[in-house]
């Protein structure tokens, strides 16, 4: 069935705004669809798929769009729509446009340069090649340019993986166990799960398997004091709370009240009562200083480039810059330093990012260890074995989409020496956090 001719205009209009890269593509798309409620679900789906396809393949499509005639933005839009729905599905095209599209779609892309095939900005591609070599860099780039499957985490406070698989099958939704996370499920197609009873009652949460593994590395136990230092909307916070079996005290810190507000409905569904969301001004907030030396475990999922999440957020690679990475590095070091103050002697600090760049990962950890002799690096291989995760790693957790089928993640496990006194809190724990 052909799409209405007007869909080209809608796709072109929203693409023009997104390519200004002034904000996240998903936010812009959602707002555009709200402003145009007469667009049907099929039209919205095709537009979204075309936009995301263009963002994933922008280098190639920009090159292709230089041929043909007419406005360049229209040609770029037509390429995205043709890839998403097929040339035959597009209505209102001229004969010249149809012929051009059919010709372009038949181009053998295997003859393109590796840099063009990567569909990465030159500075990112150069970093990938320097790190991995051209062949492996292309595998990484291509895996980041493929849409991610839908990963779920089973809330073990409410159910188990086997029962959830059976319940989903009745929907019918086919889910398979993730290979590494014992609480993870993977759905190859992307059904709408928001209306499922399992989602509404907090039995399942959407969470990439890699993110689930970060929570496992923390190793949170019953009765402990734990903090998710950059909690955001709280996906890892909820996983930590379930691991603690709803005991102890779990702080969810973030500088954004808006992000923490998104945690509240998820928290209500989860059945957890040991989570305490706290808005902080910065990593040196008095609320942090007052907990100095008191926490058993702290997770720092630091603000980063997000280049490990390009399967879900392809616009990030075009919005991010090399200068932006350098600014993030300063923030990452400062946040890790602030979070470390809370860890007690013998306690664990996990530094993590959803980046694949060394300067956001190993370099930050090495700098931290050089200035914090009271902390030591615990090999990720050791902690994974303790958690019964069948995954071969060295000193660090390094998850890559082309190898592990997760988003790109990095994590380092650090422990404070038991014989070294941790910083003393300025006040008692009872006064520590105003909630």
Instruction: Enumerate the active-site residues.
Output: 354
Q: Find out whether 52 and 316 touch, Cβ atoms under 8 Å.
A: no
Q: Find out whether 57 and 145 touch, Cβ atoms under 8 Å.
A: yes
Closest CA to 307 of 240, 247, 353: 353
Q: Which residue has the tokens 């919205």?
A: 44
Name, in order, each residue with C-beta under 8 angstroms of 8's C-beta and a sequence gap of 6 or more: 74, 77, 78, 81, 90, 92, 93
Cα 73 from Cα 210, distance rounded (Å): 37
How far is CA 243 from each of CA 5, 37, 190, 347, 409, rounded to the nearest angstrom?
52, 42, 27, 17, 21
Cα 339 from Cα 372, distance rounded (Å): 12
Residue 425, class by beta-carbon neighbours within 10 Å (0-12 exposed, 13-18 middle, 19+ buried)?
A: middle
260-266's contacts with Cβ under 8 Å and 24+ in sequence apart are 260/231, 260/232, 260/233, 260/234, 262/232, 262/233, 262/234, 263/231, 263/232, 263/233, 263/234, 263/237, 266/202, 266/205, 266/233, 266/234, 266/235, 266/238
How far is CA 391 from each of CA 236, 308, 377, 387, rounded to the nearest angstrom?
20, 19, 19, 10
Name, in order, each residue with C-beta under 8 angstroms of 50's C-beta and a sequence gap of 6 or more: 11, 15, 77, 80, 81, 83, 84, 85
Strand 375-378 with 409-416, pairing = antiparallel
Cα 430 from Cα 26, distance rounded (Å): 41
DSSP H or E run through 376: strand 375-378
Cα 403 from Cα 139, distance rounded (Å): 9
């Amino acid at each position: 069935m052909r799409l209405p001719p007007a869909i080209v205009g809608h796709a072109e209009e929203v693409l023009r705004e997104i390519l200004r890269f002034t904000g996240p593509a998903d936010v812009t798309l959602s707002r555009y669809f709200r402003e145009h409620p007469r667009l049907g679900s099929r039209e919205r789906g095709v537009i979204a798929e075309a936009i995301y396809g263009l963002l994933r393949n922008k280098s190639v499509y920009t090159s292709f769009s230089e041929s043909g005639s007419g406005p360049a933005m229209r040609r770029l839009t037509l390429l995205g729509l043709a890839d998403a729905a097929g040339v035959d599905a597009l209505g209102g095209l001229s004969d010249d446009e149809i012929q051009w599209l059919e010709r372009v779609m038949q181009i053998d892309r295997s003859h393109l340069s590796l840099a063009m095939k990567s569909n990465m900005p030159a500075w990112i591609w150069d970093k990938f090649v320097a790190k991995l070599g051209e062949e492996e860099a292309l595998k990484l780039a291509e895996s980041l340019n493929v849409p991610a499957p839908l990963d779920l985490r089973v809330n073990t406070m409410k159910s188990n993986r086997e029962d959830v698989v059976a319940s989903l099958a009745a929907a019918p939704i086919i889910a398979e166990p993730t290979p590494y996370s014992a609480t993870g499920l993977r759905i190859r197609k992307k059904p709408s799960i928001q209306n499922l009873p399992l989602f509404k009652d907090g039995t399942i949460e959407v969470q990439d398997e890699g993110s689930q593994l970060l929570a496992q590395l923390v190793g949170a136990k019953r009765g402990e004091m734990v903090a998710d230092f950059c909690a955001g909307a709280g996906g890892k916070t909820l996983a930590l709370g379930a691991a603690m079996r709803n005991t102890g005290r779990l702080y969810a810190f973030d500088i954004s009240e808006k992000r923490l507000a998104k945690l509240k409905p998820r928290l209500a569904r989860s059945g957890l009562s040991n989570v305490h969301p706290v808005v902080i001004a910065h990593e040196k907030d008095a609320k942090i200083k007052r907990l100095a030396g008191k926490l058993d475990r702290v997770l720092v999922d630091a603000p980063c480039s997000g280049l490990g999440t390009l399967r879900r957020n392809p616009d990030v690679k075009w919005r991010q810059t090399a200068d932006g990475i350098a600014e993030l590095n300063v923030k990452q070091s400062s946040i890790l330093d602030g979070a470390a103050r809370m860890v007690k002697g013998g306690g664990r600090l996990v530094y993590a990012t959803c980046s694949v760049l060394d300067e956001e990962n190993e370099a930050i950890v090495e700098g931290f260890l050089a200035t914090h002799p009271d902390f030591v690096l615990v090999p990720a291989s050791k902690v994974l074995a303790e958690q019964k995760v069948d995954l071969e790693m060295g000193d660090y957790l390094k998850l890559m989409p082309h190898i592990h089928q997760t988003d790109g993640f990095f994590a380092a496990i650090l422990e404070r020496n038991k014989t070294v006194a941790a910083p003393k809190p300025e006040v008692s724990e009872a006064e520590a956090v105003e909630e």
